[in-house]
Amino acid sequence: MRKWKIALGTAVALGAISMASVHLLDMGSLSLNAGTAGAAPAPAAFVMPVPVVNVVKKTLPIYLDYAARVESIRSVTLQARVPGYLQEQAAADGSDVKQGDLLYRIAPEDYQAALDQAQAEIERDMASLDYARSNLGRGTELAKSGYLAKDSFDQRTSTLRAAEAAIAVDNAALRTAQLNLGYAEIKAPFPGRIGRNQASVGTLVSVAGTVLNTLVQLDPIYVTFNPSETDLVEIEAAKAAGPIAVDVLLPGQSEPSQKGELTFIDNTIDHSTGTITARATIGNAKFSLLPGQYVRVRLHVKEQPNTLMVPQVALGSSQLGKYLYVVGKGNTVDQKLVSLGPTDGDLISVTSGISEGDQVITGNLQKIGPGMPVSPLPQQKPAS
């Protein structure tokens, strides 16, 4: 009887504990549900906005670039052809002159006197020639009638010939005197620019001994460069198709300042360097190119149609090479390794790795990676 009472008491205690546990669980569940019902929803994941452009398809001009040196077509050292004292420098140092402009004058008095003397000698000998002709005419009539000996007639004939020869000598002396007087004025043989004067006024100059100045032609002007023998095949093929246009870029320039045409390719390749000398003739009306100046030249050798172009700013670089980020399926980032070709302004050609329909990502490149979701911004017009 006592055992039964103990068992009944134990069962009642266990039931009370179970009811209390259920009550506590229900209270906890109600409390949890109440907290969940009052909380805000979790925020959506951030998607990076990115600017995109379409791949550009265009005909790309193909150029060959070289370092080049400017050379004058004509350059002369100005020297005197007759000796004398330098009387005048007619053109200032560094002047741009036209053909025939007076540059220097040598004191002309001696040469003017020689010219006057030559003219006087001609007049004297002309008088002798007139007398000899008249004398021979009279002798001819006398010889026909037998009143003049043959020896006297021959003497009169000889005198006439001597007078004619004297006139020829006098004419040569007159021409020499005229040339020497003309040489006293040193004139520009072609249009160009003179340099720094090297003989002061009053200097006694000698024939081809005293350098007065230098004169160089500036328009047109040569630009000389050295293509490699591997480029020569492409240049010759372009030359066979027509004249090759040449652009000249001054240091620091990205666009050509002058244009010209390829006019000379040498006939021998330098075996030590594997290059050949070539030359372009460039219009230089503003004299912005000077002999000795270093520039870059760009030969337009052909056109490459249907070339895929992308902005250069979109390019990335990794250990695997150059790549582009494009918008893939589901607006996720797709990384494409590319092979590159020539540039054209802000664009660069892509020879492999992308297709014409790709959307290239051009901004926020440091904040995205392959597989990330992105939000493409409205299309931007690419530079052309």
Return contacts of 285-291, CB within 8 angstroms, 24+ apart.
285/219, 287/96, 287/193, 287/218, 287/219, 288/250, 288/257, 288/258, 289/70, 289/218, 289/221, 289/223, 289/248, 289/258, 290/70, 290/218, 291/70, 291/71, 291/72, 291/75, 291/216, 291/218, 291/221
State how far the Cα of 280 lies from the Cα of 125, in Å rounded to an integer.
58
At residue 144, the pLDDT reads 65
At residue 46, the pLDDT reads 76
In Å, the largest CA–CA distance within the chain is: 212
How does strand 333-337 pair with strand 56-71? unpaired
State how far the Cα of 102 lies from the Cα of 92, in Å rounded to an integer.
11
- Please list the residues that pair with 56 across neighbouring strands: 309
CA-nearest of 100, 252, 56, 117 to 191 is: 100
**DSSP H helical ranges for the chain:** 2-38, 109-145, 150-183, 229-241
Tell me, letter by letter, the H, E, C secondary structure of 51-101. CEEECEEEEEEEEEEEEEEEECCCEEEEECCCCEEEEEECCCCCCEECCCC
Q: Which amino acid is at 343?
A: T
Across the 384 residues of the chain, what is the mean pLDDT of every consecutive 10-residue run? 41 41 40 46 72 90 93 94 94 94 95 94 88 73 65 74 89 94 95 94 89 95 95 93 94 88 95 95 93 95 90 91 92 92 88 90 89 82 50
Which of helix, strand or coil describes residue 191?
coil
Which of helix, strand or coil describes residue 246?
strand
The answer to whether 67 touches 296, Cβ cutoff 8 Å, is: yes
At residue 135, the pLDDT reads 73
State how far the Cα of 364 lies from the Cα of 182, in Å rounded to an integer.
77
Sequence-separated (6 or more) residues with CB below 8 Å from residue 189: 76, 99, 215
Residue 215 dihedral angles phi and psi, to the nearest 5°: -130, 130
State how far the Cα of 194 lies from the Cα of 249, in Å rounded to an integer.
25
At residue 8, the pLDDT reads 37
State how far the Cα of 204 lies from the Cα of 87, in Å rounded to an integer.
10
Sequence-separated (6 or more) residues with CB below 8 Å from residue 7: none
At residue 378, the pLDDT reads 73
Per-residue DSSP letter, 331: G
At residue 191, the pLDDT reads 95
Beta-carbon neighbour count of residue 225 at 10 Å? Answer: 22
Which of helix, strand or coil describes residue 271?
coil
Q: Which two tokens stand for residue 108?
A: 């002309």
At residue 5, the pLDDT reads 42
Inter-CA distances, 384 with 303, 312, 341, Å:
16, 12, 16
- What is the total residue count of the chain? 384
- Please list the residues that pair with 89 across neighbouring strands: 104
Helix then strand then coil, % of the chain, to nearest 5: 35, 35, 30
Residue 175 dihedral angles phi and psi, to the nearest 5°: -65, -40
* Chain centre to alpha carbon of residue 73: 16
At residue 146, the pLDDT reads 63
Sequence-separated (6 or more) residues with CB below 8 Å from residue 329: none
The answer to whether 167 touches 124, Cβ cutoff 8 Å, is: no
